[in-house]
Amino acid sequence: MDSIGVIILMIIIGVVIVVLKYARSARKRRNHVKSIQSKRSRITTQSSPKRVYAPTKNKARTKDLEWIKNEIMENEENVLRLSMGYKFNIPKGHRYDLFSAIKVTRESRKTIKVVATLTKIIPSYLDIRPTNSYYGATRDAFSVIDLNRNFKFYSTAPDMWREIFTNSHIKDLLQHNASFIQHYYLRGEYMEAIVNYDRAIITVLSITQLMHEGLKQLFGVLDSYEIEKLVCYNCKDPFDPLEEECDKCGSSRPRCIVCLLDLYPSDLERDVVTTPCCGVYGHKDHIITWLKQDPRCPNCHKNLSHWLGQLQIY
């Protein structure tokens, strides 16, 4: 074999060695990638029970709302344990002393009700509902920039509340909790909210405090406003806003069966009707709206299509 043949042979051998080294390196890289993927898969598999367990643990924790007792009031003397929640009497100097009393109860597996009496008086009512809610007051509806996608707003003083909602902290709290707040209502010295996540309880209390601070900046002292008190429609005695039944006669809280807002004495004189079947109360326009969609009573489900015509005439 001449020198040229030897050179060619050496080149071929070199190429083969390089190819073999590259193939071995590629195989190692593939094996390394597979090993990493396998480890990640095992980690994910091992972590899954923890992610599943966390919500389960959270649900167990919120079932009796034990954590809210520690969050709001550690002093047992000011806490009344209820069958499905707690009632807190708030002393002066407490971080939630805008409220004189707060009551938190679990209404169902998914909903928690928060009601409170305020030490200050709010000059105009505010009703906030999710955008997907159908029934509610329409004549007092107003819009709030950046929040209309998530909520509907109702009040007789929209300009005042629009000014309050310029507070970016209030907007952020509402936006971040839009999927957890089912209803928020503020009137006079009474606040009520329905939430479907326990941590949203603190959110609605904080929102109320921020709104009060905004109102105080607009009006100064808020104690001088006269407000209409809730009264039992049956015996005419004052109605405890934290309770669902009259202390004197045991009658149910005066509320519209459709929008679930409280009915005050002035409402009774203007636009409240009583269903002829079971005697529940409701705003006239709300009952009409309901019966146009469903002719059955929202309470006892008896057909009221004949009554709808009478309501629309008178």
Listing DSSP states for 39-106 in one string gives HHHHHHHHHHHHHHHHHHHHHHHHHTTHHHHHHH---GGGEEEETTEEEEEPPTTSTTTTEEEEEEEE
Residues 6+ apart with CB under 8 A from 298: 257, 258, 280, 282, 287, 290
As a whole number, mean pLDDT of residues 111-140 equals: 85
- The pLDDT tens digits of the residues spanning 133-177 come to 875 556 789 999 999 999 999 998 999 999 999 999 999 999 999
CA end-to-end span of the chain? 120
Domains of the chain: total: 2
Query: Which of 195, 219, 243 corresponds to the end of one domain?
Result: 219
Residue 283 domain flag? yes
Range of the structural domain that residue 213 is part of: 66-219
Task: Assign residue 270 the CATH number of its domain.
Answer: 3.30.40.10
Query: Which of 190, 219, 248 corresponds to the end of one domain?
Result: 219
Residue 274 domain flag? yes
As a whole number, mean pLDDT of residues 42-71 equals: 49
Residue 41 domain flag? no
Winning range, highest mean pLDDT, from 175-184, 255-264, 275-284: 175-184
- How confident is the prediction for the chain on average, in pLDDT? 81
Confidence at residue 39, expressed as pLDDT on a 0 to 100 scale: 44
Confidence at residue 42, expressed as pLDDT on a 0 to 100 scale: 44
